[in-house]
Structure 1
């Protein structure tokens, strides 16, 4: 059976993903970012075309349920720009949602995630291709436990990968203890985001040894102080034998973020100089094809 990635236009062989921005946002809306919404389809199309102009082929949008992911326009954006787009289901930290909304959906999260992965998001036929959840700063709080438990159930029912926002790059061991230990998700089906925001090499190697994928998703307007460390962090991890688990993303969260074109235009040459073309190709092409592919669901085995 050929491994497949679920895009907004349908499933494609994982090998067709091509050069991939493994963590980004075409659309995003949150009460913690007032006035900085990403909600302009024309601007999103411009970013996709610029990314494609530098050889980009695929973008994975980590915007989850209730944060303005614009499933209604994702398919047309993918068609018109010739770029594969992967959409997300899941839930971010509680601070990004009205309490009343969380109260309405909390008891049916796993079913919601499964429906968006298998049937479509809202009234659209666009199916999500991954489940996005989030930890808290240096801990897994009650909300994260709720969402990660639902994400694990949805993973077991569908085979979808799980992507995790690590708050300032922290709590990765606690996240893996819950998802992979208590909840039985294989580590290679987990993608840990924002590890570069806590540039602790020992901690990065600790979680790499589990087999999880590690997403280094900058440069970021808010966290640029850690971006200059990226080449040495990646070189250390690749040198320690973890090159097959590394992913790169632009993580466009507000309009001023350098984002996806910068990832290929500026960051790729810098990383190629330090790491070599083969390692960078692995991070942009080979590794995403494995990280975002669906596997046979455990409940079907």
Structure 2
């Protein structure tokens, strides 16, 4: 039986149930803990986060993929406490949101070192937490093009994924050609890569969605809920109907098996105010009702939120 690493131990992929594939317990840029205006005490973060995860569980959500990488506020002991308290499976990641978030110690490391680091966190554990990472996070640095550091991290991620059998999810999909080339060079099956944030406002028009699908990759429509209709929308917001229609056009083109969806919400942002009115539970409160109204059968909704994520996250070894 295939399994997935969660912070409380391995879980059969068949027991993940509804999965939020790209979310955050708490995300911030390196150094955000020094910002006294926005930094929260552990108690404040806990009070903000637990009700959201409990609501997620009550709606039927079971698994929360925590996509905060090394240097961005990852706190695995905290995740373990939250998982035990709420009954939500939390999948932690190794890797980096983007090269620009890797502190110098990691940015100056070799591909070999990073590969060994990722493998250790997947097979032995993250620090002394006893928890193993269940997915590798990589990304595109600010500016919209993969830097040499990004490419180094992608290569290390491909090698670690190939040796451990875990999947890779990306932050942004707007410069996929270098990634596709690296993955091909390293013998990485593109079906094991989720090209994320393919739907956000600034990047969706310049993301080569069909190229990614043709190469065998998966597409993450994982910023649902960041809408221009919000009272104070972020710069990556997008009109609700535009994003939904874009998503449905790819579904209707026959690519449902290659799609995963999420909200990229931040339960308790670190070092910044976050986006008011947006939580992981947009999935249940708005997205799934919209899908039903559009005529999507329950079997396809299950494919999107249960079967596709389970297949993607299951360790392949």
Normalising by the residue count of structure 2, what TM-score does the alignment of the two structures yield?
0.84
Aligned partner of 1:268 in structure 2 is 288
Q: Which of 254, 268, 282 is residue 241 of structure 1 equivalent to?
A: 254
Q: Name structure 2 gaps, 5 residues minimum.
A: 227-232
Deviation at 1:107, TM superposition (A): 5.7
Aligned partner of 1:299 in structure 2 is none
- In 2, the alpha carbon distance for the partners of 1:201 and 1:227 equals 18
* Cα offsets for 1:92-149 (capped at 9, x unmatched): 2233243355336776111111111011111110110000011244432101111011
* Cα offsets for 1:6-26 (capped at 9, x unmatched): 111111111111111110000
- In 2, the alpha carbon distance for the partners of 1:75 and 1:44 equals 13
The 3-state SS of whatever aligns with 1:52 is helix
- In 1, the alpha carbon distance for the partners of 2:304 and 2:186 equals 28
Q: Which moved further from structure 2: 15-24 or 41-50?
A: 41-50
Q: Name structure 1 gaps, 5 residues minimum.
A: 297-301
Contact 2:66–2:92, Cα closer than 8 Å, also in 1: yes
Aligned partner of 1:293 in structure 2 is 314
Aligned partner of 2:9 in structure 1 is 10
CA RMSD of aligned residues (A): 2.3
Counterparts in 2 of 1:7 and 1:275: CA distance versus 1, 3 Å: farther
What is the total number of aligned residue pairs between the two structures? 292
Contact 1:8–1:87, Cα closer than 8 Å, also in 2: yes
Q: Which of 92, 102, 111 is residue 107 of structure 2 equivalent to?
A: 102
Normalising by the residue count of structure 1, what TM-score does the alignment of the two structures yield?
0.89
- In 2, the alpha carbon distance for the partners of 1:60 and 1:127 equals 13
1:64-213 alignment runs, 5 A limit: 64-100=69-105, 102-103=107-108, 108-136=113-141, 137-166=143-172, 169-179=173-183, 181-197=184-200, 198-200=203-205, 203-213=208-218
- In 1, the alpha carbon distance for the partners of 2:258 and 2:98 equals 25
Deviation at 1:272, TM superposition (A): 2.1
Contact 2:92–2:135, Cα closer than 8 Å, also in 1: yes
- In 2, the alpha carbon distance for the partners of 1:92 and 1:14 equals 25
Contact 1:60–1:85, Cα closer than 8 Å, also in 2: yes
Deviation at 1:278, TM superposition (A): 2.8
